[in-house]
């Protein structure tokens, strides 16, 4: 069973800075089936990135995903105030079909 | 654009069964997978299971003996039944469109399990 570990647990940055969030898998993820979600307090998660690097509909291009094998990254090139939120990575298509990381909080410094 | 809405009780008793329904609007359920997930207070997301519009299911093995997901495409709904509830089942429950990457989500419903 794949275990996803996100780091850091909390990242403190200022608007305009670049954010890099990591997601490490305990074993290689087949076909790079990895997604990223953003979740704001009291809201449902929103799909940002799927298949490691494909942006979901209406997601700004400041969000990008990369990686392969066991190491994956979500990068936000220039933080906007609305980007401060909780971020989840998810692997899919394996066994079990879906696994999530523990979540990482991006907070304003 | 798909919209999903969970409905059901916000409080259920220990050892009883939770039944939630997700109503889908804005598109057809056909040719798609539909999922249930949950998030305990202050914790991460847990995938519970998904169902294909045809009725085929796949469940999280940690819940396999307690969970049933069903679909009624004529009503544009799919449902979650979770038996033998414990306090550990207290969470916000979400329904979502998709079986793998999850493109649309309901707003979530908080379910508290208590004696």
Test the B interface: residue of A36, A44, A102 with most B CBs within 10 Å: A44
Across the interface, of B44, B100, B103, the residue whose CB is closest to A102 is B44
pLDDT at A1 over 90: no
H or E stretch covering B14:
none
The answer to whether the Cβ–Cβ distance between B45 and A96 falls below 8 Å is: no
Q: How confident is the model at residue A95 (pLDDT cuts 50, 70, 90)?
A: confident
Q: What is the pLDDT of residues A18-61, one digit of tens each?
A: 999 999 999 999 899 999 999 999 999 999 999 999 999 999 99
Q: What is the pLDDT of residues B59-99, one digit of tens each?
A: 999 997 899 999 999 999 999 999 999 999 999 999 999 99
Q: What is the pLDDT of residues B28-52, one digit of tens each?
A: 999 999 999 999 999 999 999 999 9
Per-residue pLDDT, A97: 85
Q: How confident is the model at residue B53 (pLDDT cuts 50, 70, 90)?
A: very high
Nearest to B53 by CA among B67, B72, B36, B37: B72
Across the interface, of A33, A43, A56, the residue whose CB is closest to B103 is A56
Query: A41 — contact with chain B (CB < 8 Å)?
Result: no
Name the residue in chain A with its Cα closest to that of B50: A97
Q: What is the pLDDT of residues A49-92, one digit of tens each?
A: 999 999 999 999 999 999 999 999 999 999 999 999 999 999 99
- Angle (nearest 5°) at CA A98 between A92 and A103: 100
Per-residue pLDDT, A7: 96
Cβ contact B28:B42 at 8 Å: no
**Which two three-digit tokens encode residue B22?**
């997700």
Across the interface, of A43, A47, A93, the residue whose CB is closest to B102 is A47
Q: Mind giving me the DSSP string for B58-104?
A: EE-GGGTTTEEEEEEGGGTEEEEEE-S--GGG-EEEEEEE-SSS--E
The residue with tokens 């998660």 is A45
- Alpha-carbon distance B101 to A77, whole Å? 23
The answer to whether the Cβ–Cβ distance between B101 and A92 falls below 8 Å is: yes
**Which two three-digit tokens encode residue B70?**
């069903």
């Amino acid at each position: 069973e794949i275990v996803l570990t996100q780091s850091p647990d909390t990242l403190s940055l200022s608007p305009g800075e670049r954010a890099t969030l990591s997601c490490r898998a305990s074993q290689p993820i087949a076909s790079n089936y990895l997604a990223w979600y953003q979740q704001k307090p009291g809201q449902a998660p929103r799909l940002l990135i799927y298949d490691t690097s494909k942006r979901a509909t209406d997601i700004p291009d400041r969000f990008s995903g990369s990686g392969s094998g066991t190491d994956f990254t979500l990068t936000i090139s220039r933080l906007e105030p609305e980007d401060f939120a909780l971020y989840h990575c998810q692997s899919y298509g394996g066994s079990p079909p879906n696994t999530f990381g523990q979540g990482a909080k991006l907070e304003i410094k | 654009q798909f919209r999903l809405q969970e409905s059901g009780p916000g409080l259920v008793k220990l050892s009883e069964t939770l039944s939630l329904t997700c109503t889908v609007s804005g598109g057809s359920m056909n040719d798609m997978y539909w999922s249930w997930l949950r998030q305990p207070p202050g914790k991460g997301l847990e995938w519970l299971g998904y169902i294909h519009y045809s009725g085929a299911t796949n469940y999280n093995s940690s819940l396999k003996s307690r969970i049933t997901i069903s679909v009624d495409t004529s009503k544009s709904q799919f449902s979650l039944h979770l038996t033998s509830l414990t306090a550990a089942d207290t969470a916000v429950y979400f329904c979502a469109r998709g079986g793998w990457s999850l493109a649309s989500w309901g707003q979530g419903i908080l379910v508290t399990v208590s004696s």
